[in-house]
Structure 1
Amino acid sequence: MRHEVMFYTKGPEEQVNCKVCPRLCNIAPGKRGFCRVRENVGGTLYAVNYAECSSYALDPIEKKPLYHFYPGQLILSLGTVGCNLRCGFCQNWQIAQGTPQTTRLEPEQAVELALQQRERGYPCVGLAYTYSEPFMWYEYVYDTARLAHDAGLKNVLVTNGYVNEQPLQTLLPYIDAMNIDVKAFTDDFYRSTCAGRLEPVLRTVETVYGQCHMEITTLLVTGLNDSPEEIKRLVDWLAGIDPNIPLHFSRYFPNYKLDLPPTSEETMKMAKNLARQQLRYVYLGNVPQLAAADTTCPGCGSILINRQGYQTQIGELGGGVCLECGKKIPVIM
């Protein structure tokens, strides 16, 4: 079922200009935008994926990954189809770039499903819009997030951050946390590997900061964005915003169109050590053998949250402070 989109303008001869993301696609009648899910029908732009859910699951919130937002809790995660980037290493390319079967899930049904998890005794804090790019599901996310907000549920976006400022600001009042993918710190990488640009993503991070909880993820791809120089530029920029922002370095494995070797453990350790010179909370993903997922106190080094896979145990943390030294810790519980 089609649903008219919120941010677009109409032009001559039934042309439309989509305004949700920096691509600003000009779309002719009968055609779709780059994301594949916004279609011009007779001069009106519709979201063809509204309420079309490609997958949903009750996930550990650490899987998003969010390590400083209700640790140890669960969140109902929903995804659709379509994306406004074309990352050669995409781990969810079957739904982001493919045409999987979908299930109709209206906003009211999604909220009710999350509430049912609570009634069954699961520690479900709310809804996460993830798996595919949630800003390409904009109208559905907007409608669902408002209902979830009114029902006392939390809303989480797991996003590439490739969005224009007006849609972002319109949605933010209903969003409690975001994990934003900063895929690299060079425009060349974004253009050649993701068919996008870096600057809009940096702007999104800077806009979101202070308006909701935020964590950052960077997938380190062998030989493409994993040099010490590039990592240092990323860290310098992030530390300049706030050294308390959690940064997740994720290990790349071959997927979709890239068959480069997996990121080495040495590179992952180098990235963490370099980032910890300026950032207080740095984590490694996809390398369980390195045991680099614990949250430790930057004051005394005590283990505040112990993580083994997605098993989470609260340690020397209570009331937002380290129980050993009294340092305030930016974790929402």
Structure 2
Amino acid sequence: MKIKKEASFYRQLEDGWVQCDLCPHACRIPAGTKGKCGIRKNEEGRLFSLNYGKITAYCIDPIEKKPLYHFYPGSRIFSIGSTGCNFTCQFCQNWHIAQEDPEGIYTTAENIINIAQNEKNNIGIAFTYNEPTIWFEFVREVAKKVKPVGLKSVLVTNGFISEASLEALLPYADAMNIDLKSFDENFYRQICGGQRSPVLQTIRKAQAACHIEITFLLVNGFNDSREEVEEMAKWISEISPDIPLHLSRYYPAYQMDQEPTPIDRMLEAKEAAKGHLRYVYMGNMPPGADKNTYCPQCSETIVNREKKVTVENLVNNRCRRCGEEIAIIL
């Protein structure tokens, strides 16, 4: 049954308008209409979440699929998604739930937690597939209630969230994969319908509060230059060179029909990023691409992902060969 839930982080304005402060769009919404995300609606001067408890996708996924390579490698996580997004990325791979409003089922936080507890070898709940920020009320309730039962909460997010909303969520987040769309403000505005600076702020704040990894989708001809990748990697390294970076290969999707990003450009980007960061991976690559984690000091294999994910040559989070500390949570 659909649940009517008053939204968090909004204020009432004159003439029945409201301002949503959940994300940096700060939408000013007249009565009877929705914000940019399509999920928060002004009903007679009160703002309501339209996707509270709504599930459109769920699966038990490998943690590596989020992608998280340094957070309980080889484990599984109950992954759920809803509908809507506060970005309008032209290359969206999940546009059918992020940019449209498909049918779904409505459930409770208790039911989600019960499923997660009963799944074998499951470490927790991941909020993914669409943007969890605009699912805020349900995500926070589930994450808050799941912590006492010993399960983890993971967010796969674009990082476009207001500072106050983020601070209300971070105490219950164990890990985040933050999707850094580009290091160019114009790309954010023209291709994604967002802004870069709030995402960078989210990365800084989240890194101080929980485990984070960053995904960067290289879109052929748009954000795949060596210079941009190097600038981004250098910026990340100033926060911590131990933050894992996932360089993901673009394929045509939604409104964008560019050719897939060339393999040699992916390899060049990885080389550029590794000049600043200790752990750099490539995703959406052909079978056989290297996904292993190596010691950044001596290149010993630490996590082997060629077939079954196995942790090797690690003793007390240090490389067995050279003693280098490895930034990984087991």
TM range, normalised to the smaller chain?
A: over 0.9
- Specify the alignment match of 1:224 in structure 2: 222
Cα offset, 1:290, TM superposition: 5.5
Cα offset, 1:98, TM superposition: 1.2
Following TM superposition, where does structure 1 have runs of at least 4 consecutive aligned residues deviating by more than 3 angstroms?
Answer: none
SS of the aligned residue for 1:81 comes to coil
- Specify the alignment match of 2:112 in structure 1: 110
- Specify the alignment match of 1:294 in structure 2: 292
Aligned pairs for 1:127-138 (under 5 A) are 127-138=125-136
- Specify the alignment match of 1:188 in structure 2: 186
Of 18, 24, 35 in structure 2, the residue corresponding to residue 22 of structure 1 is 24
- Stretches of structure 2 lacking an aligned partner (at least 5 in a row): none
Aligned pairs for 1:201-216 (under 5 A) are 201-216=199-214
- Specify the alignment match of 1:328 in structure 2: 325
Question: Normalising to structure 1: TM-score of the pair?
Answer: 0.97
Measured in 2, the distance between the counterparts of 1:48 and 1:247 equals: 34
SS of the aligned residue for 1:89 comes to coil
Cα deviation, 1:157-216, whole Å, max 9, x if unaligned, reads 000000000000111000000000000000010011001111111111011112100000
Measured in 2, the distance between the counterparts of 1:98 and 1:87 equals: 13
Letter matched to residue 325 of structure 2: K
Measured in 1, the distance between the counterparts of 2:160 and 2:133 equals: 8
Aligned pairs for 1:219-298 (under 5 A) are 219-289=217-287, 291-298=289-296
Letter matched to residue 97 of structure 2: I
- Specify the alignment match of 2:142 in structure 1: 144
Of 75, 78, 81 in structure 2, the residue corresponding to residue 79 of structure 1 is 81
Measured in 2, the distance between the counterparts of 1:317 and 1:74 equals: 21
Cα deviation, 1:78-131, whole Å, max 9, x if unaligned, reads 1000000000000000000112111112111111110010xxxx2110000000
Q: What is the number of residues matched between the two proteins?
A: 328
Cα offset, 1:77, TM superposition: 0.3
Letter matched to residue 321 of structure 2: E
- Specify the alignment match of 2:36 in structure 1: 34
Measured in 2, the distance between the counterparts of 1:318 and 1:61 equals: 22
Letter matched to residue 308 of structure 1: E
Cα offset, 1:292, TM superposition: 2.6
SS of the aligned residue for 1:185 comes to coil
The answer as to 2:54 corresponding to 1:56 is: no
- Stretches of structure 1 lacking an aligned partner (at least 5 in a row): none
SS of the aligned residue for 1:308 comes to coil
- Specify the alignment match of 2:102 in structure 1: 100
Letter matched to residue 16 of structure 1: V
SS of the aligned residue for 1:36 comes to coil
Measured in 2, the distance between the counterparts of 1:292 and 1:4 equals: 46
Measured in 2, the distance between the counterparts of 1:106 and 1:317 equals: 40
- Specify the alignment match of 2:310 in structure 1: 313
Letter matched to residue 64 of structure 2: E
- Specify the alignment match of 1:156 in structure 2: 154
Question: Normalising to structure 2: TM-score of the pair?
Answer: 0.98
